[in-house]
Amino acid sequence: MAAGTTLQKAIDLVTKATEEDRNKNYEEALKHYEHGVEYFLHSIKYEAQGERAKESIRTKCLQYLDRAEKLKEYLKKGKKKPVKDGESNSKSDDKKGDSGDSDSDSDPEKKKLQSKLEGAIVIEKPQVKWSDVAGLDLAKEALKEAVILPIRFPHLFTGKRIPWKGILLFGPPGTGKSYLAKAVATEANNSTFLSVSSSDLVSKWLGESEKLVKNLFELARQRKPSIIFIDEVDSLCSSRSDNESESARRIKTEFLVQMQGVGTDNEGILVLGATNIPWVLDSAIRRRFEKRIYIPLPEEHARMVMFKLHLGNTAHVLSEDDFKKLAAATDGYSGADISIIVRDALMQPVRQVQTATHFKKVRGPSPKDPTIIVDDLLTPCSPGSPGAIEMTWMEVEGDKLFEPPVTMKDMMKSLATTRPTVNEDDMAKLEKFKEDFGQEG
């Protein structure tokens, strides 16, 4: 989503909420308040803003959340008259005080922690489909089995047949672990997707980190079905040792309790973890990831598909045999490495334009409107080419440049300067972990 669009969406939603509130359509108002706050928090996290602007948005969020809580209380208890904005219900508060109710409605600290985590909720779908992920069929099937099937066919998962509660994706860097998570976020239409990292859960205040972990799972339980995605899970859940800090140990303990502790109900919640170094994970955390799927380096056929996917609809003159040659030449390369090769190759025509001393006229689709074919486009050429005109790219009008297509020569040139990023030592460790604890992806 373009910068500023999320913020504008949030403003539109809260404006609609206040309008519905005035018209006493409290259910609609509550829905718009909650969605508006989600968009505000999303804009704080992902869009560049000054600290003063962020603080102003946070203050507004607290006001809207407070009003939303009052409307929720009114709708829940069916009062004849809702509590006015800025007022409190003394009887209700007294009852809560007497009963010791620790619900988030009466716990401002809990509300504050959960509002802090609301920014982890992925509102806008990443638009990555299963078909966009080359290879990794076993991993895709396991994720469909854990996420998609229980949502679409809940009657299949009754009695002893229950969906997986924890899936760990491990493998070399750049093989598509986070990309698979994006596909899950896109395809799981009716579920809440929470993407968190260590920065969301680690706090400098004593005791707050484990509270954030607890509230993360409570937030997921409130919005079931939910998927909690923890990228680089090893940064939070490495093996416990005697020389680690007390706060790090407490975070791990809270994770263990929330994932599968006594008295926790994680029905409808999937914890999805991704790591490049699974051997550093604590053994108790590893056990709680019931499925541990190895995401290997892509095979030759998958590499060929990746070259095609990354080229997309960019003009090129590569044949099927060229793609096969490229796939065969990139053994040991990860998906991210192939992406870099293609991106560099896509820049070769641009460099050709920059360094050209001669251009010639060609017939082709207009850059302004591809449906119109024109005869006066200019493309770079060698000085001895028929019809060559001596000029530089600075002299070519913006709507007269014909884009040179990507060639096999461009691809091979980029391949020659790009080395694989995965080393043999890490691959040996990953293979050992797969043999001991994992399964092929």
Q: What is the pLDDT of residue 48?
A: 54
Q: Are 377 and 402 in contact (CB under 8 A)?
A: yes
- 389 beta partners: 359
The model's pLDDT over 262-271, given as tens digits with 9 standing for 90+, comes to 666 778 788 8
Using DSSP, state whether 128 is helix, strand or coil: coil
Q: Is 98 part of a structural domain of the chain?
A: no
Task: Verify that 344 and 405 share a domain, yes or no.
Answer: yes
Mean pLDDT of 142-168: 83
Helix or strand run (H / E) with residue 437: helix 424-437
CA distance 390 to 26: 71
Buried b (16+ CB within 10 A) or exposed e, 250-288: bbbebbbbbbbeeeeebebbbbbbbbbbbbebbebbbeb
The pTM score is: 0.65
- 379 beta partners: 360
Identify the CA nearest to 247 among candidates 205, 288, 215, 200. 205
Out of 105-109, 400-404, 410-414, pick the least confident: 105-109
Q: CA-CA distances (angstroms) from residue 423 to 171, 209, 332?
A: 12, 35, 9
HSE (CB half, 13 Å, CA atoms) of 95? 6
Task: Give the whole-number percent of the chain exceeding pLDDT 70.
Answer: 83
CA distance 35 to 96: 27
Q: Residue 440: pLDDT above 60?
A: no
Q: Please give the residue range of the domain that contains residue 154.
A: 130-297+433-440
Using DSSP, state whether 246 is helix, strand or coil: helix
Task: Verify that 340 and 219 share a domain, yes or no.
Answer: no
Task: Verify that 290 and 391 share a domain, yes or no.
Answer: no
Q: Is 114 part of a structural domain of the chain?
A: no
Q: Enter the tokens of residue 118.
A: 């609301």
The model's pLDDT over 60-99, given as tens digits with 9 standing for 90+, comes to 777 788 788 888 777 776 654 455 554 444 444 444 444 4
Per-residue pLDDT band at 187 (split at 50, 70, 90): confident
Q: Which residues lie closer than 8 Å to 194 by C-beta, 6 or more apart?
A: 117, 120, 121, 122, 216, 219, 220, 226, 227, 228, 229
Q: Is 67 part of a structural domain of the chain?
A: yes
Q: What is the pLDDT of residue 110?
A: 64
Q: What is the pLDDT of residue 39?
A: 79
Q: How many domains does the chain have?
A: 3
- The CATH number given to whatever domain includes residue 163 is 3.40.50.300
Q: What is the pLDDT of residue 47?
A: 60
Beta strands 358-365 and 389-390 are antiparallel
CB atoms within 10 A of CB 236: 23
Task: Verify that 293 and 304 share a domain, yes or no.
Answer: no
Q: What is the pLDDT of residue 124?
A: 60
Out of 1-5, 238-242, 333-337, pick the least confident: 1-5
Per-residue pLDDT band at 343 (split at 50, 70, 90): very high
Task: Give the whole-number percent of the chain exceeding pLDDT 90.
Answer: 12
CA distance 193 to 128: 14
Task: Verify that 290 and 309 share a domain, yes or no.
Answer: no
Mean per-residue pLDDT of the chain = 80
Mean pLDDT of 126-151: 82
Q: Is 197 part of a structural domain of the chain?
A: yes
Q: CA-CA distances (angstroms) from residue 361 to 82, 173, 331, 412?
A: 73, 45, 41, 28
CA distance 37 to 52: 18
Residue spans of beta strands (DSSP E) within 276-357: 291-294
Cα torsion at 349, 350, 354, 355 (round to 10°)? -30
CA distance 376 to 363: 6
Q: What is the pLDDT of residue 439?
A: 66
- The CATH number given to whatever domain includes residue 35 is 1.20.58.80
Q: Is 107 part of a structural domain of the chain?
A: no
Looking at 19, 51, 86, the residue that finishes a domain is 86
Q: What is the pLDDT of residue 102?
A: 44
Per 3-state DSSP, the chain is made up of helix, strand and coil in percentages (nearest 5) of 55, 10, 35
Q: Residue 217: pLDDT above 70?
A: yes
Looking at 51, 86, 121, the residue that finishes a domain is 86
Per-residue pLDDT band at 107 (split at 50, 70, 90): low
Q: Is 310 part of a structural domain of the chain?
A: yes
Task: Verify that 188 and 251 share a domain, yes or no.
Answer: yes
Q: Residue 323: pLDDT above 80?
A: yes
Q: Is 396 part of a structural domain of the chain?
A: yes
Q: Is 280 part of a structural domain of the chain?
A: yes
Q: What is the pLDDT of residue 96?
A: 42
Task: Verify that 410 and 349 share a domain, yes or no.
Answer: yes
- The CATH number given to whatever domain includes residue 307 is 1.10.8.60
Task: Verify that 62 and 137 share a domain, yes or no.
Answer: no
Task: Verify that 145 and 289 share a domain, yes or no.
Answer: yes
Task: Verify that 143 and 272 share a domain, yes or no.
Answer: yes
Cα torsion at 229, 264, 261, 157 (round to 10°)? -70
Per-residue pLDDT band at 163 (split at 50, 70, 90): confident
Task: Verify that 81 and 171 share a domain, yes or no.
Answer: no
- 387 beta partners: none
Task: Verify that 263 and 367 share a domain, yes or no.
Answer: no
CA distance 39 to 14: 10
Per-residue pLDDT band at 111 (split at 50, 70, 90): low
Q: Residue 2: pLDDT above 50?
A: no
